[in-house]
Amino acid sequence: MRRERPGNGLLAAAQGLLLMLLSLGASLTLFALFVVSLVLVPLGVGLLAVPVLVPAIRANANQRRQFADSWCGISIPDAYRPLPHDPRGGIAGQVYRAIQLLKDPATWRDVLWLLPDGVVGFVLALLPFGLLSYGLWGLVFAAGVWVPIVNTVGTFWWAFVPVSGFFTAMLAGLVGLAFIVLGLRYNTRLIALHFHFVRVMIGAPEKQLLAQRVARLQETRHDAVDDSAAELRRIERDLHDGAQARLVAMGMSLGAVEALIEKDPNEAKRMLAQARANSAEALTELRDLVRGIHPPVLAERGLGDAARALALRMQVPVEVDVELPGRLEEPVESAAYFAISEVLTNAAKHARAERIWLDIYYNRKERTLRVAITDNGRGGASLEGGSGLRGLQRRLGAFDGVLAISSPEGGPTLVTIEIPCSLARRGQVRAE
């Protein structure tokens, strides 16, 4: 068992104070507002309030999940259904959104946690702060504050010690010192106990997580099949309209040269030169087509150098920062490369950005590739509707990848990509 440092106990007391404010303030307030909105549902007003309150409740719960993970390393899974979106908008869209949110079991799990969090969660958060503050008050009390109190009211109970004189005051001071020692020693565990309580209340059941995982895998499988079919059609179209047409024309030219080589050698030479030029253009188009399927620099040098080469070809200045400890698995490198390419193209073409920052980082502990692309354009990017970013999100879903966008009107825009993956084993990635 690792030894607790006094500083950890002090930090846990401060964390407990913050959790007290969240439990007593945010949780109880949200619970009261949600109950009022349910009462007003028959009047129709509640259905308009639910789409505002439920995201606020989820934000409160997610904040607690974030604290649990960053402070104590306790993971509290969620199983929220995606926030519903009704393209009709207006009041009808709000009502539809409210009904879908109320059908989500995770909504009720969060709501049923709010009231216990305001009571049990508050007490568990109070203990770390209370041990230190009450213990400090015991030391101050024993230092001489007990004298005027006892002279005024007589015997005074401090904790479980009846203070009536110097000896009992010193005993109270010793008890206060013991409270401080206990707080410094066990405060971090009390904070962890608070988060274990939160996990019991709002942690998604394993069965629900598994069902959600299966549904997502089915969805991403269909998306992957559709994307593969679309990519195959694109390749067939490019071959038919480009290289194939040039090769057919070159074959016809060579047939004409065969007929003219004895009758008109000069014309035959001219047609041979034209055929050679057509063959060079066909070869260039084939190389571009292959590069679009899997760029050679990506196969030979990896994602970092491929991203730098991509940035050099952009019309907008791109500042690239790469921290990769080695090569990633080939499918992940390819997916990340084309995702970066699409986001950079969107930033240059639609966002009117003057500068772009590209950061690529691999987290060994979490085994996750993180890509952040920031531009100083006009903003307003969104995943709603049938945008290219929505399609990119679906393609990343085949790798359990996540695409997040922060793009307020007026900018800046931050696109974050996270893909769970492992480093490629030695010899697994080969240059083609």
- What pLDDT digit, counting tens, does each position of 204-240 carry? 777 766 666 666 666 656 555 555 556 566 556 656 5
pLDDT attached to residue 28: 94
Please give the helix or strand (H or E) that residue 288 lies within, else none. Answer: helix 265-293
pLDDT attached to residue 425: 64
Is CATH 2.60.40.1180 correct for 297-420? no
Beta strands 161-163 and 318-323 are unpaired
pLDDT attached to residue 387: 59
Query: Model pTM?
Result: 0.60
State how far the Cα of 407 lies from the Cα of 392, in Å rounded to an integer.
Answer: 16
pLDDT attached to residue 160: 81
Q: Return the number of other C-beta atoms located less than 10 Å from residue 426's C-beta.
A: 8
pLDDT attached to residue 233: 65
pLDDT attached to residue 2: 44
CB under 8 Å to 185, separation ≥6 — which residues?
4, 9
- Do 288 and 294 meet the contact criterion of CB atoms below 8 Å apart? no
Spell out, as residue ranges, where the chain has pLDDT lower than 70: 1-7, 84-89, 208-250, 278, 281-295, 384-388, 425-432
State how far the Cα of 195 lies from the Cα of 33, in Å rounded to an integer.
Answer: 24
- Domain map (residue ranges) of the chain: 6-202, 226-293, 297-420
pLDDT attached to residue 124: 94
State how far the Cα of 405 lies from the Cα of 360, in Å rounded to an integer.
Answer: 16
Rama region for 277: left / alpha / beta (φ>0; ψ in -120 to 50; rest): alpha
State how far the Cα of 246 lies from the Cα of 279, in Å rounded to an integer.
Answer: 7
pLDDT attached to residue 112: 94
- Do 336 and 362 meet the contact criterion of CB atoms below 8 Å apart? no
